[in-house]
Structure formats: structure tokens, C-alpha cells
């Protein structure tokens, strides 16, 4: 089996997200889109971006040039483990954005996700986020920033059935890209959440941190503020 990662176009990334990601929505803003091929067949995309929170890295003393979010992993049937694909995608990210020190990603509890792929990749689990308001419009759920980016001010949609709902909390995972950053965030590590399939509840287990074709190039995250 031959695995290959390369830059991919927005069109290819959107196809993967619309067909192979539960959200069926492309993230907004400037994105780094890394396509994935197995035996020369396109099987999906890994996408990095700024995320919905402009202060994503501020709590770790980082600015927008030094942190990013893993915003989508959209894969069709594949043989390679997801954690391995993600690890290879870091090579591309660091090549384009050498100032990036920390990657953040979230597992959606509302979808029953606990972040198993991040646990397999030895990410640091730092707990749950606070619940944020989201928009519900025409039976589709939107994060506030994504809705405003797509449709503008939400106020003109209030009379058209727009509802503001409380979003779910999410599991937050951190991946440091250098030893100094790992040393800084390791004290934040909490036990990994684990799904008890028999009981249908979430429990915790101790985390283990070791310390230690047709492609279109995408511009570096460091080119955007």
C-alpha cells in the first residue's frame, strides 16, 4: 500500500468534507489543505486553519502566528491509521509555517466523539471547553463565526426562523511541535476520556505522554494574520 500526502485544491478538500465528514461544511478563513492518497487514489483531506476562536493560542502565550487548529479530518475508506496520516501532515504544516508551536483540535461530544485518534497520536488532553452559543437555521447548525462569514449579520434572519441555541462542550486536545512547548503544556494534561460502549457513558483512563495529483499549493498560515 502506497501512502502519499500533498497539497490539494479547495475543490478537492470541499469534496472530501461534503462526502466524508459528519459536518458536511467547510471551515471558513484561510486554510492549509493537505490531500491524502492511497495507491494513487484520493481518499481525503487534513485541514488546518485559525479556527473559530481568534484567541486560540493566547492562553498558552502564543499569537496567531504560533498556533493553529486542526479543523477537519475527512477521509474515505482507508488502510493507514488516522493518527499516522495526521502525523505525516505535520511535516507539511511545519514546512510552510515554521513558527507554529502548537496545534489544537476538538472532539465533539454531541457526536459521541472522545478523541480516540488524538489519544492514539499521544496528544495532550486538557479537558472540556465551555459551551458556546450557536445558530440553528433551516435545520442546520452553525457556529457564530461561520454563519456570519456565510450570511452576514444574524439579525436580519431572526424573523426567518433563526434560533440561538446552546452548543455542546467539546474535548480539547493539544499537540506541541517542540520540546519547550511540550514542557509548558504537560502540566495541563488530564486523564483521557474513554467511552464505555456497554454502559454508554464516558469514563476516564490515565493519559500517557512521552515527552519526547492535481495538487494546488496552499499559502503558509504565517502569511495571514
What is the domain partition of the chain in residue ranges? 3-130+169-223, 132-167
Q: Is the pLDDT of residue 74 over 50?
A: yes
pLDDT above 90 covers what percent of the chain? 54
- 66-70, 131-135, 183-187: lowest mean pLDDT where? 131-135
Strand partners, 4: 37
Regarding beta strands 67-75 and 102-108, do their DSSP bridges make them parallel or antiparallel, or are they unpaired? parallel
Take residue 121 and report the three cell numbers written for it.
497520536
Burial annotation 176-189 (CB, 10 A radius, 16+ → b, else e): bbeeebbebbeeeb
**Higher per-residue confidence, 211 vs 175:** 175
Range in 13-27, 99-113, 165-179, 202-216 with the lowest mean pLDDT:
202-216
Over 70: is that where the pLDDT of 47 sits? yes
Whether 114 has a pLDDT exceeding 80, the answer reads: yes
CATH class of 3-130+169-223: alpha beta
Comparing C-alpha atoms, which of 122, 123, 161 is closest to residue 140? Answer: 161
CB 38 within 8 A of CB 79: yes
> What is the rounded CA–CA span in Å between residue 37 and residue 39?
6
At 158, is the pLDDT very low, low, confident or very high (cuts 50, 70, 90)? low
Q: How far apart are the first and last CA of the chain?
A: 39
Q: Report the C-alpha gap between 92 and 6 in whole angstroms.
A: 8
Largest CA distance in the chain: 54
pTM here?
Answer: 0.76
Q: pLDDT category, 102, cuts 50, 70, 90?
A: very high
**Residues with Cβ < 8 Å from 123, sequence gap 6 or more?**
105, 115, 173, 174, 175
Amino acid at each position: 500500500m502506497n501512502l502519499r500526502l500533498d497539497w490539494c485544491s479547495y475543490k478537492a478538500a470541499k469534496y472530501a468534507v461534503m462526502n466524508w465528514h459528519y459536518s458536511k461544511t467547510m471551515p471558513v478563513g484561510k486554510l492549509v489543505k493537505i490531500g491524502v492518497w492511497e495507491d494513487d487514489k484520493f481518499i481525503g483531506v487534513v485541514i488546518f486553519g485559525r479556527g473559530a476562536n481568534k484567541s486560540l493560542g493566547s492562553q498558552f502565550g502564543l499569537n496567531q502566528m504560533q498556533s493553529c487548529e486542526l479543523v477537519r479530518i475527512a477521509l474515505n475508506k482507508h488502510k493507514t491509521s488516522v493518527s499516522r496520516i495526521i502525523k505525516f501532515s505535520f511535516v507539511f504544516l511545519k514546512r510552510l509555517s515554521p513558527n507554529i508551536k502548537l496545534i489544537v483540535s476538538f472532539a465533539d461530544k454531541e457526536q459521541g466523539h472522545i478523541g480516540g485518534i488524538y489519544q492514539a497520536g499521544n496528544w495532550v488532553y486538557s479537558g472540556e471547553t465551555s459551551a458556546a452559543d450557536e445558530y440553528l437555521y433551516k435545520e442546520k447548525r452553525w457556529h457564530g463565526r461561520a454563519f456570519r462569514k456565510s450570511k452576514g449579520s444574524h439579525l436580519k434572519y431572526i424573523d426567518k426562523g433563526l434560533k440561538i441555541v446552546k452548543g455542546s462542550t467539546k474535548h480539547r486536545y493539544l499537540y506541541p511541535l517542540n520540546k519547550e512547548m511540550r514542557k509548558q503544556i504537560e502540566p495541563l494534561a488530564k486523564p483521557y476520556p474513554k467511552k464505555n460502549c456497554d454502559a454508554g457513558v464516558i469514563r476516564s483512563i490515565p493519559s500517557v505522554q512521552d515527552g519526547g495529483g492535481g495538487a494546488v499549493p496552499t499559502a503558509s498560515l504565517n502569511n495571514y494574520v
